[in-house]
């Protein structure tokens, strides 16, 4: 197990300081900003990643106990079988005037796994796949307004919810999303409802005399639908002629092979996959019923790199390997072990933890008032010194073994003991080498 002299890495943080001058926002993804982990002292960049180990620019190894590539790498980093399929595809040409036959095989595979679906379109990233899904729904219904729950990417259709409102998206995973640059005319076209609150959705539908185009949601993320919530969502979609879109970008594949909705007894009209379906290579799929998907022919939905051949090759190899290894069962076990460890160690050291999520997407936060965020920052700082990338969010992978979790929990035990000491001395903030972690979207200086 890696361990480091208790000094923060330097090359990565220095490069990141340079990046912030050249790249507005520092990185291309809010969730990869070092400020979201350990401002000023996060390694920020990697030289190599393999299994669940990451080497920073100073060649220090860390075991990754965060979201593991923002939830993309369910098989672990640089999976050999996926890399082999991709390498073959590169050798045979990753782009061409003609199409990749893997597109058809992948479509068949996805529809066999989700028998309610008959047709498939592809993009490469999650947010753009959701934008395509919403476009198809709007084209299919001839309506504009969308009701949604949860986070669905950076597109105008989604950020429209915060136009004029500013706070509509708070409570939907990412707070503070600024709709600057989104046309004000889109205000009112995306209306949020809360998970488990069927009344919210009923109220939206009652207030829309012209109907809505789509209901967009993750079928499940942090918690299972209570009672008949999801069944009633399906009924409302049917009654009002709205397209029901399930966003499986983060929930799909990790708890169950395919969409998590397959375990919930409710089928959508469209489901969207990305991220984990191709283990770190860009690929996304919009699958749906023919009656709805055919609308993709009426609207111009077309992009050059949606036809490159690496994504489908990676997705076919990933899906095959996820099935062969029963990765979902392993991931559930690892998540259960980790979350149980957090609870036990929290109690042992008298730390109040709020844990959330399903085993495959588990998380905890400290519940110590104004000390909570400094405590999480200190946790990340001290876990880093012990060779772990760690915060309060863990997306297990096939590469995490029970023995690795034990080693991680031994480090958590030591760090929790240290946090307890600083809490008792009222000097948590003083133990930090840099600023406190950020929690949402904010302009960087
Ligand atoms: C549920 C959900 N939808 C959409 C997205 C956006 O996907 P991407 O970041 O690939 O654009 C994410 C990303 O975290 C997500 O979790």
Q: Tell me the residue ranges of DSSP E strands in 26-77.
A: 46-50, 53-56, 61-65
pLDDT at 2: 56
Mean pLDDT of 262-272: 98
Rounded distance between C-alpha atoms, residue 350 and residue 416, angstroms:
9
344: domain range? Answer: 11-75+326-431
- Structural domain total, the chain: 2
**What is the average pLDDT score of the chain?**
95
pTM, entire model: 0.96
Answer yes or no: do 250 and 359 share one domain: no
Q: How far is CA 199 from CA 145, 158, 190, 206, 261, in A?
A: 18, 21, 17, 10, 21
Answer yes or no: do 31 and 89 share one domain: no
Per DSSP, what are the bridge partners of residue 243? 214
With respect to residue 6, please indicate whether it lies within any of the assigned structural domains. no
Compute, in angstroms, the gap from residue 8 CA to the centroid of ligand 1.
31
Query: Predicted confidence band at 3 (pLDDT cuts at 50, 70, 90)?
Result: low
DSSP H or E segment with residue 270: strand 270-273
Q: How far is CA 117 from CA 72, 192, 351, 413, in A?
A: 23, 26, 47, 47
Query: Predicted confidence band at 178 (pLDDT cuts at 50, 70, 90)?
Result: confident
Rounded distance between C-alpha atoms, residue 420 and residue 25, angstroms:
34
Compute, in angstroms, the gap from residue 69 CA to the centroid of ligand 1.
12
Compute, in angstroms, the gap from residue 249 CA to the centroid of ligand 1.
6
- Check if 152 has its Cβ closer than 6 Å to any atom of ligand 1: yes
- Check if 442 has its Cβ closer than 6 Å to any atom of ligand 1: no
- Return the CA Rg of the chain: 22
Q: What is the CATH number of the domain that holds 351?
A: 3.90.1150.10
- Check if 130 has its Cβ closer than 6 Å to any atom of ligand 1: yes
Nearest CA to ligand 1 atom 8: 126
**Which of these, 153, 120, 155, lies nearest to 315 by C-alpha position?**
120
Does residue 340 register a pLDDT over 60?
yes
- Check if 283 has its Cβ closer than 6 Å to any atom of ligand 1: no
- Check if 132 has its Cβ closer than 6 Å to any atom of ligand 1: no
Answer yes or no: do 217 and 333 share one domain: no
Pocket residue to mutate for ligand 1, from 123, 152, 221, most atoms within 8 A of Cβ: 152
pLDDT at 444: 72
Answer yes or no: do 90 and 143 share one domain: yes
Answer yes or no: do 314 and 332 share one domain: no
- Check if 153 has its Cβ closer than 6 Å to any atom of ligand 1: yes
Q: Which of 292, 324, 356 is the last residue of a domain?
A: 324
Cβ-contact 380, 66 below 8 angstroms: no
What confidence tens digit (pLDDT) does each residue in 29-54 have? 999 999 999 999 999 999 999 999 99
Does residue 257 register a pLDDT over 70?
yes
Query: Predicted confidence band at 4 (pLDDT cuts at 50, 70, 90)?
Result: low
Answer yes or no: do 29 and 89 share one domain: no
Answer yes or no: do 254 and 343 share one domain: no
Q: Among the atoms of ligand 1, which is closest to the Cα of residue 250?
A: 16
pLDDT at 164: 81
Does residue 283 register a pLDDT over 70?
yes
Does residue 239 register a pLDDT over 60?
yes
Compute, in angstroms, the gap from residue 125 CA to the centroid of ligand 1.
8
Mean pLDDT of 299-304: 97
With respect to residue 443, please indicate whether it lies within any of the assigned structural domains. no
Tokens 């600083």 belong to residue: 422
Does residue 92 register a pLDDT over 60?
yes
């Amino acid at each position: 197990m890696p361990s480091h002299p208790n000094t923060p890495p330097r090359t990565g943080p220095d490069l990141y300081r340079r990046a912030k001058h050249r790249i507005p926002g520092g990185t291309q993804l809010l969730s990869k900003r070092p400020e979201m982990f350990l401002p000023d002292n996060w390694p920020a960049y990697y030289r190599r990643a393999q299994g669940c180990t990451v080497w920073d620019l100073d060649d220090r190894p860390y075991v990754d106990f965060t979201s593991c590539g923002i939830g993309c790498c369910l098989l672990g980093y640089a999976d050999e079988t996926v890399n082999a399929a991709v390498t073959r595809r590169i050798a045979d040409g990753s782009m061409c005037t003609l199409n990749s036959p893997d597109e058809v095989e992948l479509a068949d595979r996805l529809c066999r796994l989700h028998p309610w679906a008959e047709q498939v379109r592809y993009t490469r990233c999650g947010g753009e796949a959701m934008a395509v899904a919403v476009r198809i729904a709007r084209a299919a219904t001839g309506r504009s307004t969308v009701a949604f729950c949860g986070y669905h990417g950076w597109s105008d259709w989604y950020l429209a919810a915060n136009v004029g409102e500013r706070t509509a998206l708070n409570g939907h995973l990412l707070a503070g999303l600024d709709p600057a640059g989104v046309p004000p005319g889109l205000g009112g076209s995306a209306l949020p409802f809360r998970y488990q609150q069927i009344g919210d959705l009923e109220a939206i539908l009652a207030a829309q005399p012209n109907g809505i185009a789509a209901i967009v949601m993750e079928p499940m993320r942090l918690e299972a639908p209570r009672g008949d919530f999801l069944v009633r969502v399906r009924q409302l979609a049917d009654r009002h002629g709205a397209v029901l879109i399930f966003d499986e970008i983060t929930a799909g594949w990790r708890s169950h092979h395919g969409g998590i909705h397959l375990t919930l007894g409710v089928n959508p009209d469209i489901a969207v996959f990305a991220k984990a379906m191709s283990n770190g290579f860009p690929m996304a799929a919009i699958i749906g019923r023919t009656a709805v998907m055919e609308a993709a022919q009426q609207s111009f939905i077309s992009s050059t790199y949606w036809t490159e051949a690496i994504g489908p090759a990676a997705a076919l190899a990933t899906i095959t390997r996820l099935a062969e290894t029963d990765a979902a069962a392993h991931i559930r076990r690892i998540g259960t072990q980790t979350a149980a460890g957090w609870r036990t160690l929290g109690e042992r050291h008298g730390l109040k933890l709020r844990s959330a999520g399903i085993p495959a997407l588990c998380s905890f936060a400290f519940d110590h008032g104004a000390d909570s965020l400094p405590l999480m920052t200190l946790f990340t700082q001290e876990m880093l010194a012990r060779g772990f990338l760690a915060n309060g969010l863990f997306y297990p992978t096939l590469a995490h073994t029970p023995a690795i979790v034990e080693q991680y929990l031994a480090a958590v035990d030591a760090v929790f003991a240290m946090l307890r000491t600083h809490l008792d001395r009222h000097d948590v903030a003083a133990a930090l080498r840099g600023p406190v972690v950020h929690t949402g979207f904010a302009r960087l200086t």
